[in-house]
Amino acid sequence: MTPVHAPGFPEQAVRARARAGVAAVFPAEHLYGSTMFGATPPDRPGLDVLDRMRLVPPVFMPQRLEKLIDLAREPMHGDVDLDTRIGGFRSALPVYVSAFGSTQVAQADLGIAVSRQAGRLGIPLVIGENVVPIDGYGRDDTVRKSLVGRIRAYTEAVADGVGGVTVQQSTEDADAEVWNQLYSDPATQPLLSTGRLALELKVGQGAKPGLGGMTLLDADRAARVADRYAVEDLSGRGNRLRCSSPGTFTEEILRHQIRLMRNNYPQARVWLKLPPARDVQAAAITAWAAGADAVTVDGAEGGTGWAPTSFLDHVGLPLAECLYRIGPQPSCLLVSGRMWEGTRAAKSLSLGARAVGLGRAALLAADEDPAAGLIRLVDCLALELRLIISALGKYATAALDAEDVWWPSPGVHPGGDRPDPNPDPGG
């Protein structure tokens, strides 16, 4: 099988963590005693605003004193509680696996490996759109890359009372009645009966806001789905571009869709995935008011299996701007976009997110080691979160606050003026 690659993403760092586990959080051991370490220059290529922010511990830590009194000893990073409620699910960590659907990268063994390891970790798994129209529903146990194949791999590994599976639906999935099949399928009843099944309405994604899903298919497969998708021959060399419809939404349509989901599938959780749109706050608030258990916002840094290259660099708001526009909310906000380690996750949590999603990082880690690569990667992220949250004088993810983050622009502070969207990297 061809190895997976992610240009522009810290692929080698992710693979190193998938191999070495928590040792990779620190410098290489052989350097101890002979090397002096310091910060990397802040203007290195590839950093976005969220990366350039810094986490800022205080001197005075009243919450640490409270924890000391509670424990009758000095608290350490191991005392930080990472248990989190994510969209109605109990998760062992403020982390979930982001949606990846029918793209070839996630098919067959890699998608199954990610599902199984997410289950072992006790974190939620999102299965993306278009799996059924492209790979099949999978009532036949031999169809491993199917929708049910991924769900079974997860449920066989997850412990009781934690985690959950969220299944996206797009316009084309609605034609296949995916949610109707799932809701009545014996394979999903263990999840449904324990409140661990969610349905996610996909409005858009970070890598291509305003567009639907895109994949390449060979001529035969493209012909089989041409009645449901827009199909184009771009190269004349056999492969076809298959385009999903992004759907059409107004505030009233979105409210109606969420209410319909709650009415038709009362035992399932309801999630909504938004692109990094300019009205992202209004859309999120509309969804929560209509009854959504979680809103996922995919920043413009989010990955994809296929998209116009111009969209990757020039369309959509950065995740930091999405977090700023949405602001602190009492409801469950989930975010994704270039997540792979603890500092970016901690900044997102401080700015209002409940949990962060691993997409490309999850696939790369599982590609590096299908048995435990994702587990080791998440172990690294969990250790970093505990170290960071403890350093901030706090002992639960919910205690993180905008005061814990410094925006890299002079004169800007939490609750103050709007951050400069193009700050001087030197601050």
Mean predicted confidence (pLDDT) in 38-52: 75
Strand 84-86 and strand 269-274: the pairing is: unpaired
Confidence band, pLDDT 50/70/90 cuts, at residue 312: confident
Reported pTM: 0.90
What integer best gives the mean pLDDT of the chain?
87
Average pLDDT over residues 204-232: 81
- Residue range 254-279: mean pLDDT, rounded: 95
Tell me what pLDDT residue 325 has. 96
- The gap from C-alpha 190 to its chain's centroid, in whole angstroms, comes to 24
Quick check: 107 pLDDT over 70?
A: no
| pLDDT reported for residue 39 | 79
Q: List the one residue out of 2, 6, 1 whose CA is nearest residue 339.
A: 6
Region of poorest pLDDT, from 136-140, 197-201, 212-216:
136-140
* pLDDT at residue number 172: 60
With bands split at pLDDT 50, 70 and 90, how would you rate the model's confidence at 38?
A: confident
- Of 154-163, 180-189, 225-234, 385-394, give the lowest mean pLDDT range: 225-234
pLDDT recorded at residue 209: 84
Q: What is the predicted pLDDT for the residue at 414?
A: 46
Q: Is the pLDDT of residue 247 over 90?
A: no
Q: How far apart are the first and last CA of the chain?
A: 45
Query: 307-337 in b/e burial notation, b at 16+ Cβ within 10 A?
Result: beeebbeebbbbbbbbbbbbeeeeebbbbbb
Residue 354 vs residue 107, higher pLDDT: 354
Q: For the residues 401-426, what does the mean pLDDT come to?
A: 61
